[in-house]
Structure 1
Amino acid sequence: MNTKTKRRMVVVTGVIIMVLVVVLAVVGGSGSAKPVAISDLTTGNYADQKIQVSGNVVENSYKTEDNTLTFDIYDANGDAAQHLQVRYEGGVSATFGNDVTAICTGKLGQDGVLNCTELVTKCPSKYENATSALTIDQLLGYGGDIVGTTVKVAGVVKDGTLTAAGGGDRFALVDAENPGSELAVLFDGALSEEIADGSALVLTGSLDEQGRFSATDVALEG
């Protein structure tokens, strides 16, 4: 290999390395999101930047129209009165609900709404002893006499019934000993991400006149 050829190879190699460095810089810059607190967004310094904002979902602030979910979040460790509205188009996890921690990644629009492209929800695990809980068969056996009375009931999540909050029945609970005994459950709060098909749960709430269980608390049996 002569000197001229060696020089050409060095030049070509240098150009390739420079191109790779530029490409990696662009990809890395466009893919990363800057963590920002809700209180920082009032400065107006984050327009058209990819940011990540974490907060708890404001109770009953969410609604879905034309497959677009909108909701408000607040900083649990800051000013709870300061809210950020989030707009998200995409599938929503069954863990989504009131006061769940939502990690939202996207860009802030001129209207002050965060256009979210990535949504992750987290709810801490919660366990409850089932010793004093009724079985579904026992609950339904009381009939109308127990409607509106706050009780605990234990059962197992029926496969394929878990849905996100705001869509009606949150899931169906079946009796662990008698899977044919089923209870529709209403709940708008946050569910632990550990809850899945077949999870054993203990619910606190009351039976309504339509035979559905309106839960105020949902915990894993433990």
Structure 2
Amino acid sequence: MGPAVKIVVSAALILGSGGYLLAESLRDPDTLTYFHGADVVIAQPGQFKDQRIRMGGHVAKGSIMQKPGTLEYQFEVEPVAAMAKFPEALGKTVTVRYTGVVPDTFKDDAEVIVAGRLTPNGAVFEANELVAKCPSKYEAAEKNEKKY
């Protein structure tokens, strides 16, 4: 077998393997998870029926509730005003339910991304993933130390 044939066979094997991996990864519909801002989910909840999505926004102040003795949380996510495609959704929120350990950065007004599905009536976002963004500005904690 000559060098040209070896190159063609190797290229065919590599392309075939890559094609197989791509086809397998796309076969499961939950593999592709689209990202939408909370404003889009508020304005067009019917668009996301039976779809797994990622949704981003800010945790509404005072909305975090934890069921005592469990890892079950419910909170409200509001749109990020600077990124809103639907201004009429500003001031409204999406109720999110999440069960699991929450990151240390999860608190009021934190920027979050949740992944999951809307309930059939579109009233609640059932999340199975939660990521809270770190603050964009570092603010050192004040220390009560005497300086010399």
TM-score for the superposition, normalised by structure 1: 0.47
Asked if 1 retains the 8 angstrom alpha-carbon contact of 2:57 and 2:111, the reply is yes
Cα 1:125–1:22 shift into 2, 3 Å: same
Which one of the candidate residues 125, 148, 158 is aligned to 2:137?
A: 125
The aligned length equals 119
Which entry has the higher C-alpha Rg, 1 or 2?
1
Cα 1:21–1:126 shift into 2, 3 Å: closer
Unaligned runs of 5+ in 1: 1-12, 139-222
* Counterpart amino acid of residue 60 in structure 2: V
What does 1:104-183 correspond to in 2, within 5 Å? Answer: 104-111=114-121, 112-122=123-133, 123-128=135-140, 134-135=144-145
Which one of the candidate residues 97, 112, 131 is aligned to 1:102?
A: 112
* Counterpart Cα distance in 1 of 2:113 and 2:99: 15
Asked if 1 retains the 8 angstrom alpha-carbon contact of 2:25 and 2:31, the reply is no
Secondary structure of 1:39's match?
helix
Secondary structure of 1:102's match?
strand
Cα 1:24–1:91 shift into 2, 3 Å: same
Give the number of the structure whose residues are more often strand, by fraction. 1
Unaligned runs of 5+ in 2: 1-12
CA RMSD of aligned residues (A): 2.6
Identity of aligned residues (%): 21
* Counterpart Cα distance in 1 of 2:101 and 2:128: 11
* Counterpart Cα distance in 2 of 1:21 and 1:52: 22
The offset of 1:92, in angstroms, is 0.6
Give the number of the structure whose residues are more often helix, by fraction. 2
* Runs of 4+ displaced beyond 6 Å: 16-19
2:54 — aligned with what?
52
Secondary structure of 1:110's match?
coil
Cα 1:34–1:68 shift into 2, 3 Å: same
TM-score for the superposition, normalised by structure 2: 0.68
Cα 1:67–1:40 shift into 2, 3 Å: same
